[in-house]
Copies of this chain bind each other. A is one copy, B any other.
């Protein structure tokens, strides 16, 4: 039985991988080891570890690694601390392979720890293109990884062109689409989001359509983060539709974003906006499926919404380069542009399902690869 150690460092990574976790857990050939680390342990980012346990997974280890400060220096220091701690954890758990998800700064800690301990590293979601520092992290992790589980044929092609052995690159689709597929097959678990999930801001009447916003700071421009969020706020106020705004994640710059939102709220300007810190992922997807449009720079607008057919106003450079379905409209940071795109998206309505990022069955494909792929840590460029 192969021991598969999955390291979860953030709420969105968990949302993305959970269908695969369930498939690993259900597969008799595999034993799941779960390490929860970084912002996934922190209350102010939604205490993801408690969600994970509530959803039936056992957390084998917790690794506190975020050094406070939310700037570039502490991003690096957090990664160093995490690398040092994860080395100990992996040495104790002795997995047969280690799974690292996507491309956030702290995932480098997982990747380097696994590589240096000579454990086969599985990278989920390599070969994609985006803006920001994530670009460097993602491809560096590809070069450290031994098995690649990618979302699309185009991603597979890029991983192979970077010199990875084609026999180790598996197109599974993204397991976040599995969650989307399952989630929208179920009804909402509540008919009153506001009393069920708390958050701050007024109760909104959502019966005549509503908008969802998720906007993360763009790390290479973090001094602009405040200005950017103010532009989006202005567009949302002008649009004057009920709006659900999801709180941003830990990252250099996110304190500034959060401060912009708080300031707006305290000036009493945000009467059509309700803020949630963390919705259950499935519920969020159902909320999204019923929404008129998603606005911001989250990958959800590009990935899950391709499958859901929900229009996405994608702001700025954060998702630039990512493969897009027909549901996406790209705009700059200015409130006028955001507002125009938003109006046009709401008017145009939902589009057809696009399986660009997966067909909803990635989890079992991933488990099957993990159970059967040759385990080797030898690599060599083929050219």
* Distance in Å: Cβ of A83 to nearest Cβ of chain B: 3
Partner of A65, one of B67, B91, B116: B67
Q: Which of A84, A139, A142 is packed against the most chain B CB atoms within 10 Å?
A: A84
- B-facing residues in A320-370 (Cβ within 8 Å): 321
A118 within 8 Å of B by Cβ?
A: yes
Please state if A77 and B73 are interface contacts (CB–CB under 8 Å): no
Copies of this protein chain in the complex: 4
Complex: A377 Cα to B117 Cα, angstroms:
30
Q: Which residues of B contact A136 (CB under 8 A)?
A: 115, 143-144, 379
Q: What interface size band does chain A fall in? A: 35 or more
- B-facing residues in A62-92 (Cβ within 8 Å): 63-70, 72-77, 79-88, 91-92
Q: Which residues of B contact A321 (CB under 8 A)?
A: 380-381
Secondary structure type dominating chain A contacts: helix
Please state if B163 and A72 are interface contacts (CB–CB under 8 Å): no
Against B, the Cβ 8 Å flags (1 = close, 0 = not) of A76-120 are 110111111111100110000000000001001100110111100
Q: Which of A42, A80, A140 is packed against the most chain B CB atoms within 10 Å?
A: A80
Task: Decide: A116 near B381, CB < 8 A? Known: A68-B64, A88-B85.
Answer: no
Please state if A82 and B80 are interface contacts (CB–CB under 8 Å): yes
Task: Decide: A87 near B76, CB < 8 A? Known: A42-B69, A143-B140, A143-B142.
Answer: yes
A55 within 8 Å of B by Cβ?
A: no
Task: Decide: A77 near B87, CB < 8 A? Known: A72-B117, A144-B136.
Answer: yes
Q: Which residues of B contact A44 (CB under 8 A)?
A: 255
Please state if A163 and B139 are interface contacts (CB–CB under 8 Å): yes
A239 within 8 Å of B by Cβ?
A: no
* Distance in Å: Cβ of A257 to nearest Cβ of chain B: 12
Please state if A83 and B85 are interface contacts (CB–CB under 8 Å): no
A206 within 8 Å of B by Cβ?
A: no
* Distance in Å: Cβ of A115 to nearest Cβ of chain B: 5
* Distance in Å: Cβ of A288 to nearest Cβ of chain B: 26
Q: Which residues of B contact A259 (CB under 8 A)?
A: 43
Of A27-35, A154-162, A167-175, A289-297, the one with at least 4 CB within 8 A of chain B = A154-162
- Which are the 9 A-B pairs with shortest beta-carbon distances? A80-B84, A80-B83, A76-B87, A76-B116, A139-B143, A66-B68, A140-B143, A140-B140, A64-B69
A and B contact pairs by CB, cutoff 8 A, 26 listed: A41-B69, A42-B68, A64-B68, A64-B69, A64-B77, A72-B116, A73-B87, A73-B91, A76-B83, A76-B117, A79-B83, A80-B80, A80-B82, A80-B83, A81-B81, A88-B88, A105-B116, A116-B133, A131-B380, A133-B377, A135-B379, A139-B381, A140-B140, A140-B144, A200-B266, A321-B380
